Amino acid sequence: MVSRRSVLRAVPLAAAALAAVPTAPRRLGRASISTDPVRVPPDPATMQAAATAVRGFTADLYRELASTRVGGNVVCAPYSVGLALAMTRAGAGSTTADEMDAVLHAPDPRPGTLDSGLNTVDQLLADRYQDGDGTKQPRLTTANALWTRLDLELRAGFRDTVAGYYGAAPHPVDFRGAPDAARQEINTWVSDRTNTKIPELLPSGVVGSDTSLILTNTTYLMAAWLYPFIAAATTAQPFTRDDGTIVDVPVMSGPFDPMGYLEGDGWRAVDVPYAGGGLAMAIVMPTRDDLAAVEANLDVTWLGALLTGFRSATVQLRLPRWTFRLPAELGAALSSLGMPTAFTPAADFTGMSTDPSLCIDDVVHETFIAVDEKGTEAAAASAVIVRPPSIPQGPQFFVNRPFLYVIHDQTTGVPLFLGRVHDPLVTGPA
């Protein structure tokens, strides 16, 4: 039980993906509350290690989340969760920092190494995709911010780190006098940067008069398929769940097209490209046993080999349409992964503020994804709260049983969204 002390509470992370690509996408800016902080220049030498770190955290967090939903659909955006936790880690010390580094797969324990790498990845992705139109070229944007109690004093080193490496500007709000107004202001900021797909990141009651600080992250993606499916060819076809039951689901069909193809021990995969090049959705389907057998091997090595191992083939793809939303609290999962101290009164976040008593209360994550014949739209938001206490000869890939999917950047191998579909007809948790 947390005592009456300041609590660093990570609140709703959200990820979204929409079925159809809008014909006139809303322009979403980079992180900006008043003025954009000056970012530290990217260091290309740190990029590969940071990409590996993101893959490691992605695999670990997915396994923990999936283990709580046996037989159910899953979707999450560990890239967004990782950015929020990395900003929080910038204010951590002693055992708290060591544990967070391990969970985040920090490539080097020296202060700033992870920050530099994530800054490089973020700016590299922004340079490639932030000005895309979502149709001919993917549009991918990220934004970070600090929401602080009016009288909260941040340490200069922490403030400079989150500004320089994450582009997060401090924004004083009246948590004590008007907590619900502050909550609504943060929700509006998140909604604007997720194209209104996450309208209420922070539910009523999450922000109180004792809230001291909230760190937020959003990640937004809109991308059309390089090879759009033929809408008229979508038909109801059987899909076999892992329990052996069969349901008819809308299945999209396309001609034979060149895309990545890979086979492994007990699974095979395709890498479905988005228009403009660079981003793709890897889809993994078991060839024996069930999807759980594939997920059991999902770690940083397996995920890295998947995302970098595809070879071109001409594939005839049939893929279900699906829409799914999953809210989840991640505090227990992160503690289990190896950072329990951050959630206890023994936490050390003295590098964040002059307030000596901060700890993480919880991490909440919400993700929404929908895929159709045109493409995918996706968004992620994160917050941390502080308060007291082929040609026809090529392979066919008919997705007619539970499968894993990873939306990722092909050049860096950075995974952005990860999930599984056990039943394309299920749109949310039971």
Residues 406 and 327 in one domain: no
Inside any domain, residue 429: no
Read off the pLDDT band of 427 (50, 70, 90): confident
Reply yes or no on whether the pLDDT at 16 is more than 50: no
Average pLDDT on 102-107 reads 95
Q: At 353, phi and psi to the nearest 5? A: -150, 165
Residues 51 and 121 in one domain: yes
d(Cα 40, Cα 123) in Å, to the nearest integer? 10
Instruction: Count other Cβ atoms within 10 Å, centred on residue 391.
Output: 10
Residue 321 is predicted with a pLDDT of: 94
CATH classification of the domain holding 111: 3.30.497.10
Reply yes or no on whether the pLDDT at 14 is more than 90: no
Inside any domain, residue 188: yes
HSE value, Cβ hemisphere, 13 Å, CA-based, for 171: 22
d(Cα 209, Cα 364) in Å, to the nearest integer? 20
Q: Residue 41: what residue type?
A: P
Residues 364 and 301 in one domain: no
The per-residue pLDDT for range 132-175, each reduced to its tens digit, is 999 999 999 999 989 888 988 899 999 999 999 999 988 999 99
Residues 22 and 109 in one domain: yes
Inside any domain, residue 267: yes
Residues 360 and 245 in one domain: no
Residue 34 is predicted with a pLDDT of: 46
CATH classification of the domain holding 268: 2.30.39.10
Residue 135 is predicted with a pLDDT of: 95
Residues 69 and 95 in one domain: yes
Reply yes or no on whether the pLDDT at 9 is more than 50: no
Residue 25 is predicted with a pLDDT of: 33
Q: Which residues contact 143 (CB under 8 A, 6 or more apart)?
A: 29, 30, 31, 32, 167, 193, 216, 217, 218
Residues 315 and 372 in one domain: no
Residue 26 is predicted with a pLDDT of: 34
Which domain does 15 fall in, by range?
Answer: 7-224+323-387
Token duo for residue 184:
């609504």
Of residues 27 and 207, more confidently modeled: 207
Read off the pLDDT band of 389 (50, 70, 90): low
Share of the chain above pLDDT 70, in %: 89
Residue 273 in contact with residue 21, Cβ under 8 Å? no
Read off the pLDDT band of 367 (50, 70, 90): confident
In 253-263, which positions are buried (b, 16+ CB within 10 angstroms) versus exposed (e)? Answer: bbebbebbbbe
Reply yes or no on whether the pLDDT at 5 is more than 60: no
Residue 85 in contact with residue 66, Cβ under 8 Å? no
The mean predicted confidence, pLDDT, of the chain is 86
Place of tokens 């396994």: 63
Reply yes or no on whether the pLDDT at 318 is more than 50: yes
Residues 40 and 75 in one domain: yes
Reply yes or no on whether the pLDDT at 28 is more than 90: no
Residues 166 and 288 in one domain: no
Inside any domain, residue 353: yes
- The full 3-state SS of 280-329, as one line of letters, equals EEEEEEECCCCHHHHHCCCCHHHHHHHHHCCEEEEEEEEEECEEEEEEEE
Residues 252 and 124 in one domain: no
Residue 387 is predicted with a pLDDT of: 63
Q: Residue 156: what residue type?
A: A
HSE value, Cβ hemisphere, 13 Å, CA-based, for 150: 9
The alpha-carbon radius of gyration of the chain (Å, integer) is 21
Domain count for the chain = 2
Q: Which residues contact 291 (CB under 8 A, 6 or more apart)?
A: 242, 401, 402, 403, 404, 420, 422
Residues 27 and 146 in one domain: yes
Inside any domain, residue 365: yes
Q: What is the pTM of this model?
A: 0.87
Inside any domain, residue 120: yes
- Centroid of chain to Cα 429: 18
Residue 199 is predicted with a pLDDT of: 87
Inside any domain, residue 369: yes
Inside any domain, residue 20: yes
The per-residue pLDDT for range 175-189, each reduced to its tens digit, is 999 999 999 999 999
Burial group, residue 372, by CB count within 10 angstroms (0-12, 13-18, 19+) = buried
Q: What number of H helices and E strands is found in the chain?
A: 9, 16
Residue 393 is predicted with a pLDDT of: 59
Q: Report helix, strand and coil shares of the chain as percent, to nearest 5.
A: 25, 35, 40
Average pLDDT on 66-70 reads 89
Residues 311 and 327 in one domain: no
Judged by average pLDDT, the poorest of 55-64, 296-305, 362-371 is: 362-371
Q: What is the DSSP string of 411-422?
A: TT--EEEEEEES
